[in-house]
Structure 1
Amino acid sequence: MAATPPSHWLSIVKEALGSHGSLGAAISMIEANESLSLTLEAILCLCAGAPCPSNITPPISPADWNNARARLQTAFEAIQPNSGVMGGAKRPRDDDAAEASNNNVAPKKAKLVIDDPADEPIFTLHNVSFTSPIRKKADITVHKLTLRFTDPKDSKSNLCDPIALPLLRHAFMVSTPGKAKPHWTTMILPENPEHPSVIFGCDATLATPQVTTKYPSPPETHAKGSVSKPLIHSLFAYFPSGPTGLVDLYEPKASDFQSGTGLGQCVVSYIGPKDGHLHFFSNGILWGEKKPCIWFPVEKMTDVHPGVSSGRTFTLYISTKKSASSTDEDDITMHDFTLIDGKEDGPIRAWIAAHKAQFAIASAAPGDELMEVDEPSTSASSSKAGTAAPKTGGTRAAPARSAGPVRLMDAVLDENDEEDDDFVGSGSDSDDSGGDSSSEEGEGNDDEDEEAGEGGSDDAEDADGDADEQEEEEEEEASGAPRPGTTTDGETGADELEEEEYHTVQLPPGIKVSHAAAAAAHKMLGEAFGVP
């Protein structure tokens, strides 16, 4: 069979290889085989973002070809964002800019996109104010494959890289808080936060005429005073839907949430020092209207709860999974939003109660799996539970839950406490010092009893004291047990102290206390509460 004419894209690759004889020879062998040549030509066209070859067998419809290109671009972006493949911009070399500066010549602008006849424009919203991915006014145009941002004065001048439509998955249209006039903020977010988001705003009532274009029709001008919401809806009407398209355009409703401070469906909050708003929807919570925008769908939430109010404000904790189907405990991340007005506590709790049934079911309660805690135990090993804290800003590990109160005498004792001398005046052995302290405590109590007995001048009081002492002695003889703080011979002994006679001190798990510190604490508590 006669060899087919060299393919266009194969010829380009062969010329680019130049002196690499082995690869060039391999391409020549492929060109000699019609089936292989057409297959490789189609693959190169797909990777380069070019139209489908007309001679491919079996034929591929333009719609299927465009969908395949979009999926391939999404895959390339996931592997290496902004890699320059299929429309990514190249980073200009430093030496090119320096050479142009020395020659007083403006450096050449990198070509942002490969012109693709298949990526036809569909709808344009002209002269819109953006904060992401650019910070200026631009025309936003929905194409068949991409979303593009161009100079209002030159529709062919791309101001930034086009964004593949399958990357943009969630759109939000919210009322902008803090504006003197009603204003809309629109956010279009990708599934992967590494990809760019789109944020723009416009007045709810047009302050100037607004132009839109539905191709191939001529531009249409909307008069000043018209409402802008239908124009924004028109833009999203041309986004693709389904598994590779836009999930939904979310708009808050008064029935979903009502702020306690009159902000509508949002509350003021902070991520660290950065201020923003939490917007509450029927199917999730959005942190916006500035970067980074974060979307928390209810199906990925494992827990949402307000913290304890510290005066006028409180913190809201949102725990989420990376995916709704994930069963890995390591995937749970907690985000905290601080300085929320205390008046928002009631509305937020009402929203949580209304949507808690939709939350993802976590394998463990929030906090139990996020922090390691050393439990006091007689064994050498300590129990552990959990994972490391989240890495991103605005997130942290949930506080560990205590296994229960620990009495001071049951706490783990450290024989080599460097601060023993702060509690004991003398003595090198902490155990001996502890015993002496206890003995001094007992002797001190006995001395106080003797002074109380000798110092009394009233006969009636002496008689009452003798009667009480006599009753105690009779009870001891009847029970056969010595008084607390004394030995069977009536002398005070540190080793024979009854634990039940001392107030228990609650300590967090894992706290280590020296013998000397414990003895000193016993003495102070005894003196404070009058316990012998």
Structure 2
Amino acid sequence: MEAIHVAFGHDTALCDRILAAAKENRDQMQLFVDIAKYMSQYMSGKRAPDEDTTPAPDAKKRKTQASNASTASAVASPAPALNLTTTLNQKDVTNVLFSVPETSFAVPQRKKMTVQLAADPQRLEEGALRVVHEGSGINLAVPFSRIEQVFCLPVPEKATRQWNFVIFANQTLDLKTGDRAMEAEQIVWTMPETAPVNVKAASGFEPLDVDTYVTSTMRSLSACMLGHGKSVIIPNEQEFASAIPQSHRKGEAAYHVKAHKGSKDGYLFFLSVGIVWAFKKPLALFTFENIESISYTSVLQRTFNIVITTMPDPITGDKQDIEFSMLDQADFAGIDTYVKRHDLNDASMAADRRAKKLNINPKPKTEATDGDTTGTAAAEDDDDEMTELQKAEQALQDQEDEEEEDYDPGSEGESEGSGSDSEGEEGGGKGGGDDDEEVEEFDDEDEE
């Protein structure tokens, strides 16, 4: 990123905006670097302007180019508002196709606001999701093209069925100012499984008779995102379901795992595109392509931790280790199956992790004769089939068994034992001769 700093370092604000844009569009990183190098060469006089190296156009072409230049200048000049809405058409944004007022939001603010889907029906992919609250003046828009993922997740531990819609975006716009609203690039709102009585919808978006707020919103939002190859993602048992039964909903699968991230409690969801941490700010999404490895730490009898290591940042090259603690051991098998199914690297025993794990002694050697090669080979095969966490748990259990076998009855027992040994030693002279005679008798029998 040195090239960007060299080219634009004189304008700190512009440099920061370029770096932020580069992070959002990592596949275009080389383009940003090339532009920076070009600007550096141009400003230093090493590269001549393009118009100086091309033949002079004739009069007609000059007139056309001048006209185009003036038009381009007018378009490029910053507008007083909506200076970030180049991806949005004003007419599309005001054409509301689906609206649900009085929706309970948790992120970015705890308010009842209106969620809207706005677009031209012929160009749904060019529209936006809007969040509006007239009383406070909130007027946000997330272009469908800027939505990274949308999830619909069941709200845990609620007797009444409710679902949270979770939006991860890489650009949210404040339609009042035209500025980017970075604090609203994660959005969470809650909807009940009840009839959508106050939904306002255009033709083609009306709820069906069997619909709920959840199903009608899912269908409408998926239709708007279809042009970008995306849809609303929900959990399913084929991916992951918790082994812990729900006391308030007997017979129903739970899809969350309770955990802590630092001092904050929350829920992990293991989904078809990655892992979601919700529902408190800041939320987190770990897509498969951004996960380098998943490792396990602090393996105890009832709980364990997982550490998600992210892929190196394309700008800084840094990796992040995000630890989630206090996961219930009952969910280990399901999580481990999920990790293996998606070829996520189980790096539990990596050298840089060992300092954080329990001090588990190596497995005790099994008692076997030199000729018992079959049993040894079978044990090695079993070890190969076990995951690193299972091996750690087995080692921990073996250690506990050893401690029970080595139990010391106490100092009183030691004193009594030493006295018995002394008595045996005193009588050793009398009994020694008899023992020798018995040995001699056995020797005589052998000779015979």
TM-score between the two structures when normalised by the length of structure 1: 0.45
Task: Give 2:100's aligned residue.
Answer: 126
How far apart are 1:162 and its partner, in Å?
3.1
How far apart are 1:252 and its partner, in Å?
0.9
Alignment of 1:141-152 (within 5 A): 141-144=116-119, 145-151=127-133
Structure 1 counterpart of 2:290, from 297, 300, 303: 300
Task: Give 1:319's aligned residue.
Answer: 309
| In the alignment, structure 1 residue 140 sits paired with structure 2 residue 128 | no
For 1:141, give the aligned amino acid: Q
How far apart are 1:342 and its partner, in Å?
1.9
| In the alignment, structure 1 residue 205 sits paired with structure 2 residue 194 | yes
In 2, Cα distance between equivalents of 1:202 and 1:221:
14
In 1, Cα distance between equivalents of 2:259 and 2:318:
25
Task: Give 2:33's aligned residue.
Answer: none
Task: Give 2:74's aligned residue.
Answer: 41
For 1:209, give the aligned amino acid: V
Structure 2 counterpart of 1:239, from 224, 235, 250: 224
Which structure has more RCO (C-alpha within 8 Å, separation ≥ 6)?
A: 2
Alignment of 1:119-518 (within 5 A): 119-127=93-101, 128-144=103-119, 145-151=127-133, 158-191=137-170, 196-206=185-195, 209-214=197-202, 226-240=211-225, 245=228, 247-262=230-245, 264-322=254-312, 330-356=317-343, 359=344, 367-368=350-351, 460=429
Cα gap change, 1:283 to 1:149, in 2 (>3 Å): closer
How far apart are 1:259 and its partner, in Å?
0.8
Give the number of the structure whose residues are more often helix, by fraction.
Answer: 2
How far apart are 1:173 and its partner, in Å?
0.6
Structure 2, unpaired ranges of 5+ = 1-64, 120-126, 172-181, 246-252, 363-424, 434-448
Cα RMSD, aligned residues only = 4.4
In 2, Cα distance between equivalents of 1:319 and 1:366:
14
Cα gap change, 1:141 to 1:238, in 2 (>3 Å): farther
Count how many residue pairs are aligned between Structure 1 and Structure 2. 284
Question: Counterpart of 2:199 in 1: which secondary structure?
Answer: strand
Question: Counterpart of 1:162 in 2: which secondary structure?
Answer: strand
In 2, Cα distance between equivalents of 1:45 and 1:141:
28
Cα gap change, 1:40 to 1:231, in 2 (>3 Å): same
What's the CA shift string for 1:120-148, capped at 9, x where partnerless? 32423322111112321111122345432
In 2, Cα distance between equivalents of 1:203 and 1:457:
86
In 1, Cα distance between equivalents of 2:139 and 2:342:
39
Q: Contact between 1:134 and 1:160, CA under 8 Å: does it hold in 2?
A: no
How far apart are 1:116 and its partner, in Å?
3.6
In 1, Cα distance between equivalents of 2:285 and 2:428:
82
Task: Give 1:383's aligned residue.
Answer: none
In 1, Cα distance between equivalents of 2:72 and 2:340:
57
Cα gap change, 1:349 to 1:34, in 2 (>3 Å): closer
How far apart are 1:209 and its partner, in Å?
1.9
Cα gap change, 1:167 to 1:221, in 2 (>3 Å): closer
Task: Give 1:407's aligned residue.
Answer: none
Question: Counterpart of 1:255 in 2: which secondary structure?
Answer: coil
Cα gap change, 1:231 to 1:322, in 2 (>3 Å): farther
What's the CA shift string for 1:450-470, capped at 9, x where partnerless? xxxxxx977939x99xxxxxx
Larger Cα-atom Rg: 1
Q: Contact between 1:212 and 1:221, CA under 8 Å: does it hold in 2?
A: no
Question: Counterpart of 1:269 in 2: which secondary structure?
Answer: strand
Q: Contact between 1:140 and 1:150, CA under 8 Å: does it hold in 2?
A: yes
Task: Give 2:420's aligned residue.
Answer: none
Cα gap change, 1:460 to 1:39, in 2 (>3 Å): same
For 2:105, give the aligned amino acid: F
In 2, Cα distance between equivalents of 1:332 and 1:401:
26
Cα gap change, 1:171 to 1:246, in 2 (>3 Å): farther
Question: Counterpart of 1:250 in 2: which secondary structure?
Answer: coil
Cα gap change, 1:295 to 1:327, in 2 (>3 Å): same
Percentage of identical aligned residues = 19
What's the CA shift string for 1:277-332, capped at 9, x where partnerless? 11111332111123222111122222223335323222122222156xx698x533
Cα gap change, 1:251 to 1:218, in 2 (>3 Å): closer
Question: Counterpart of 2:232 in 1: which secondary structure?
Answer: strand
Cα gap change, 1:237 to 1:460, in 2 (>3 Å): closer
Question: Counterpart of 1:331 in 2: which secondary structure?
Answer: coil
Q: Contact between 1:199 and 1:290, CA under 8 Å: does it hold in 2?
A: no
In 2, Cα distance between equivalents of 1:158 and 1:304:
43
Q: Contact between 2:92 and 2:118, CA under 8 Å: does it hold in 1?
A: no
Question: Counterpart of 1:249 in 2: which secondary structure?
Answer: coil
For 1:197, give the aligned amino acid: Q
In 2, Cα distance between equivalents of 1:221 and 1:459:
98
In 2, Cα distance between equivalents of 1:34 and 1:178:
64
How far apart are 1:170 and its partner, in Å?
0.6
In 2, Cα distance between equivalents of 1:166 and 1:322:
25
In 2, Cα distance between equivalents of 1:311 and 1:229:
39
How far apart are 1:399 and its partner, in Å?
6.5
Cα gap change, 1:366 to 1:318, in 2 (>3 Å): farther
What's the CA shift string for 1:486-525, capped at 9, x where partnerless? xxxxxxxxxxxxxxxxxxxxxxxxxxxxxxxxxxxxxxxx
For 2:86, give the aligned amino acid: R
Structure 1, unpaired ranges of 5+ = 1-31, 51-65, 74-114, 374-397, 405-455, 465-532
Cα gap change, 1:335 to 1:212, in 2 (>3 Å): same
In 2, Cα distance between equivalents of 1:286 and 1:401:
31
Task: Give 1:411's aligned residue.
Answer: none
How far apart are 1:228 and its partner, in Å?
2.6
In 2, Cα distance between equivalents of 1:370 and 1:294:
23
In 2, Cα distance between equivalents of 1:401 and 1:46:
63
